[in-house]
Structure 1
Amino acid sequence: MSPPTLIDTHPDLSGTAPLALSYELFPPRSPAAAETLWHTIRELEATRPDYVSVTYGANGSTRDTAVELVNRLLTETSLRPLAHLTCVGNTPQELADIIGELLDVGVRGILALRGDHSKDAIAAVPGALRYAQDLVDLIRRVEQRRSALLCAGKVAIGVAAYPTRHPESPTEEHDIEVLLAKQRSGADFAITQVFFHTEQYADLVIRARRAGVTIPIIPGVMPLTSHRRVTRLGELTGVEPAPKLLSSLAGAETAAERLEIGVRATVDLANAALDAGAPGLHLYTFNEHQSALDVLDRLDLPRHARRSRSIRPAAIRHAASGRQQTDQDLIVQQ
């Protein structure tokens, strides 16, 4: 019988791993929106998240403002950005250049997404990548060429996962096959799209593990505090939100009452995912911190302590351009 290895006996490997915490942000569209965003950033920064994701508009429509926001997060805050990147509307060479630009400014996390497009969009860009798994492969190829430059930190690649059937997918089983293909191409973790029912995250994980998906699957949770937003995302995902929740939100007489109803529902979703073994929590903030912080206040997350790195002095409220994120931006394509 072989003696136990160091891994078998090391006491530090037997405890519960700390949970990851992250938020989603999007580039602002005006100086006023930028001021609000940076207030939100400072409020969220105080919770010491492991990273914040920065969205990237359809067909790269917010590329410049997204890269600017990523760069400012790196230079003016202690936050670690996870940069969204979509492959629709760009050639592989253009994407390789964008990936290189992100790596050059210090990004070490990329969320690889297909992006939204019409049927004519692919034909309009000869040689464009068709699927997120191809983008994952491209990122790994660029990373390999830059190995010597990345000795202080390789690239972590995230992808999307779907608790309910993707609107363009024939079946939920097909969605799992796509997730498995992304893993085989080199994805390190997945973040789920929004979901509305407590059992949906656990069901996704069970199906994924049975199929051979081993990467962490992080639940993406949206504070359910807006009747309009919940209704719209229900339409986009094809999943009806709980009628009781919609009725309660519609019947709320004050903003405070609506916030309380939505936060309670969101905490229930988050706790169900954590009870199912979720390795962390990703909050879709819509650049609003209050409801996200209210959700966190009611969750008991075993978090590790992060040391703040030095932050370069800079003006915080800086005019930035871009477009507001729409609800549909959350329904990222495979």
Structure 2
Amino acid sequence: MSPPSHIETHPNLAGAAPVALSYELFPPRSPAAAESLWTTIAELEATSPDYVSVTYGASGSNRDTAVELINRLVQETTLRPLAHLTCVGNSPQELAEIIGELLDVGVRGILALRGDQPKDGGVPPEGSLRYAQDLIELIRRVEQRRSALLCAGKVAVGVAAYPTRHPESPSEAHDIEVLLAKQRSGADFAITQVFFHTEQYADLLTRARRAGVTIPIIPGVMPLTSIRRLTRLSELTGVEPAPELIERLAAAGSDAERARIGVGATVDLANAALDAGAPGIHLYTFNEHTAALDVLDRLALPRPRRTAHGAVRHSPEPRIAARQLAS
């Protein structure tokens, strides 16, 4: 038997990694929305997230504004953007051009998504990509052609994961097989769609690991403070929020009380995921920072401190309040 390598026996490599922190933003739809968004970006930047994801409309409907937002994030902030990209309705040539454009502005992370099928029931144009798996393989091809240009940072490819059955899927087992196929095609990590019950992330993780999925699966958590938003997402995902939470939110006597109830429920959801082994938390902000930062304060994630020059220094304390990172 060969002796263990120096890497295997090195004591400093066994410690737990800091918990990853990220946010989701979407491109603004008006000048007023843009002004509000940049206030939110400044507030979120102060927490030193690992990246922020930027959504991309169905069939690239807001492509120009998404790329503009990503470019400004790269040029004007310290934030690292994770660019969403959908493939339904686009040819490989069109998508390769978009991927190249993203890389040219400094993007080094892409969330590869299938995107929504045509709402009119029509068939996507012949030759267009059909699945996220195809998009992952295309990203890797573009990356390979540009390998000499990317020596300072290869591309990290993320994908979606589903704690509950995808609305178009025959079963949760099928969803896991799809996730495994994405991993085989070159996915580096996954971010879950929203979920509303504390056990759902742990159940997903158990099923995925048993099937052979080894990539990190990051829980996507939404601040549970808006009944309207909860209802809308429930319609889209087919997953009902806990009735008692809806009742408590509806019975709240003020916006402040409603926010307190919703933030508390969100923290419970995130902590359950962390207890199950989640490597990070991805917060769906809906371009609003208040609830997201309230959740972050309550979570007190073990995050690396950043010095005045931006260098990372890991704190010896087990848990650090997120807002303290900016001080």
TM range (shorter): over 0.9
| 3-state SS of paired residue (2:299) | coil
* Change beyond 3 A, Cα 1:187–1:103: same
When structure 1 is superposed on structure 2, of 300-309 and 145-154 the one drifting more is: 300-309
Residue 204 of structure 2: aligned partner? 204
How many Å separate the matches in 2 of 1:34 and 1:309?
29
Cα distance in 2 for partners of 1:178, 1:164 equals 13
Hey, what's the Cα distance between the residues in 1 that align with 2:135 and 2:60? 14
Q: With structure 1 as the length reference, what TM-score do the two structures score?
A: 0.90
Aligned residues: 310
Shift of residue 57, structure 1, vs aligned partner: 0.4
* Equivalent position of 2:7 in the other structure: 7
SS of residue in 2 equivalent to 1:123: coil
The question of whether the paired residues in 2 share the 8 Å contact of 1:136 and 1:182 is answered with yes
In the TM superposition, structure 1's runs of 4+ consecutive aligned residues that sit over 4 Å from their partners are 119-122, 306-310
For residues 12 and 100 of structure 2, the distance between their equivalents in structure 1, rounded to whole angstroms, comes to 37
**1:120-143 deviations in whole A, cap 9, x for unaligned?**
677342201000000000000000
Comparing 123-132 with 89-98, greater Cα deviation is found at: 123-132
Cα displacement (A) at 1:214: 0.3
* Amino acid in the other structure paired with 1:207: R
Q: Is 1:275 matched up with 2:270?
A: no
Instruction: Say if 2:123 is the partner of 1:117.
Output: no
Match of 1:128 in 2: 128
Structure with bigger RCO (C-alpha 8 Å, 6+ apart): 1
Change (3 A) 1:119 1:40: closer
Name the residue aligned to 1:166.
Answer: 166
Mapping of 1:280-291 within 5 angstroms?
Answer: 280-291=280-291
Root-mean-square deviation (CA, aligned residues, Å) is: 1.4
- Kept in 1: contact 2:88–2:124 (CA 8 A): no
Q: How far does the alpha carbon of each residue in 1:143-199 deviate from its partner, in whole angstroms, 9 at most, with x for none?
A: 001010101100000000000000000000000000000000000000000000000
Shift of 1:54: 0.1
How far did 1:307 drift? Answer: 5.8
Unaligned stretches of 5+ in structure 2?
311-327
Q: Against the structure 1 CA distance between its residues 307 and 101, is the aligned structure 2 distance closer, same or farther, given a 3 Å change threshold?
A: farther
Q: Which residue pairs with 1:29 in the alignment?
A: 29
User: Are 2:219 and 1:224 equivalent residues in the alignment?
Assistant: no
Judging changes above 3 Å, is the alpha-carbon distance between structure 1 residues 122 and 8 closer, same or farther for their aligned structure 2 residues?
farther
Does the 8 Å CA contact 1:88/1:122 hold for their aligned counterparts?
Answer: no
Contact 1:89 1:121 in 2 (8 A): no
Shift of 1:309: 7.2
Q: Deviations over 1:39-97 (max 9, x none)?
A: 00000000000000000001100100000000000000000000000001211100000
1:115 alignment partner, SS class: coil
Deviations 1:86-119 (A, max 9, x none): 0012111000000000001110000000001227
For 2:104, the aligned partner's letter is D
With normalisation by structure 2, the TM-score equals: 0.92
* Per-residue deviation, residues 247-272 of structure 1 (Å, max 9, x unmatched): 01111121101100100000000000
Tell me, in whole angstroms, the C-alpha distance in 2 between the residues paired with 1:122 and 1:307.
54
Match of 1:143 in 2: 143
